Amino acid sequence: MSSKRLWIAAALAALLGAALLAPAGVGAVAAAAPGAPEFSGSAEYQFHYGFKAKDITGDSLKLRLALDGDIGAMAGYHVDASASLSTKPELAHRFKLGEAYLDVSLGPLDLRVGNQLVNWGTADGINPTSVVNPRDMLAVADLDIAGAPVPAVAATYYFANGSAVTGVLVLDFVPSAIPGELAQLEIEGKPDKFRDKLEVAIRGETMLGGHNVYASYFYGWQDLPAMWLQATVLPEPYPPVMMPHLKYRRMHQFGLATAGTLGDAAVWLEGAVTVPDKLDELDAPPPATMALSSNDPSFQIVAGADYTFDIGTGLFASAQLIYDSANALVSPYTQPGQERKAGVYSLLVTRYSPANDHQLELVGLVDLTGRAGLVIPRYTYKLAQAVELSVGAITGFGDDTSPLGAAVPAARGVFAGVKASF
């Protein structure tokens, strides 16, 4: 049997098994004794067919398992892990430990120790102040930004007036995945001593005028290294060539976020200023050196609102306006010879359920400065209590003068997937 047929058989077997186990799993959790460990998880398969490639450009089979439980009345634990297998764009498999932590409650003090996600921010999906965990670049296929857990100790103290302060000590530097062929390069500056790997973050929260207000600070490493091109002399008669160089560096980040309501609508505002350590290579004069990153501070602001209209079963609509002075939302580096200009984006989401077990969703991301955009309609049908089938399409407009427009041709296509939870 060919490897492709084996892959399809394995995918179908895993999904069928998860679907059959799902009802029993839900019941088992519901019937579990208080304090007993609870198992949960999901199996998911999805693929994307690209119109430009006229072929399947990406597929993935994912299995996720999680275990939660209590240790007495003051402590609890969580462990999750995932395995994935894909054949496009190349055959690859991966096993990854996700979050694995211990929670302890000591009166007004909550502690969390272990591999964890620290989700900060008030905006929907794009959060400038959520910087503790390394984040991947925005995925144009689903407009999602995934984060990776880090080993850390987090402590939150709650005051009697409802305010709170959280401190996080990250024990190891976990970088983001390097995009494309740059992952093959040797990267300078990665810390090797324990004290150099440490990162710290602190956030205070309170209520002002009926709105939640959060102020945060982070000192640690940038998720992605700075990049520049440097002329390398070759033996005659060959001319010099520009070779890419990558180097990690530390940064300070100052953040502010708020969320509340305005009538029946939810509103939020979130922003952060990032001040990176300066690298002399980025200020070197051309043409011997060409900087693709910057030593200048950058800031990102997200303002948005959502509202459910009284139409049928309820039409949910969300709109966000994003200002990014570094225009790094889609691409972290400038193109050689181009000056990076600030980006202004609009992210729109609508959802409607015309009937039970049916959901329609429309997501759009528009680069208002680069005149480019992506539109993603999706239909989801709940086949059973814990099994969902989804189909959708990706289209858009723009050209390669915009980072988002440059991603449109490869993103255009259709996608489908099935997910079983248990």
What was the pLDDT predicted at 142? Answer: 57
70 class by beta-carbon count within 10 Å (0-12 exposed, 13-18 middle, 19+ buried):
middle
What was the pLDDT predicted at 138? Answer: 61
Nearest-angstrom CA–CA distance, 254 and 299: 9
User: What percent of the chain is predicted at pLDDT more than 90?
Assistant: 71
Under 8 Å between Cβ of 200 and 173: no
What was the pLDDT predicted at 16? Answer: 39
Q: Enter the pTM of the model.
A: 0.86
Comparison of pLDDT for 87 and 145, the residue scoring more: 87
Mean pLDDT of 187-205: 96
What was the pLDDT predicted at 167? Answer: 98
Confidence of residue 144 (pLDDT cuts 50, 70, 90): low
The 10s digit of each residue's pLDDT in 157-172 is 999 999 999 999 999 9
What was the pLDDT predicted at 145? Answer: 66
Sheet strands side by side (includes 187-188): 187-188, 241-247, 226-232, 289-291
First to last CA, the chain: 31
Nearest-angstrom CA–CA distance, 252 and 185: 26
What was the pLDDT predicted at 339? Answer: 78
What was the pLDDT predicted at 10? Answer: 42
Confidence of residue 104 (pLDDT cuts 50, 70, 90): very high
Nearest-angstrom CA–CA distance, 241 and 228: 13
The 10s digit of each residue's pLDDT in 199-214 is 999 999 999 988 999 9
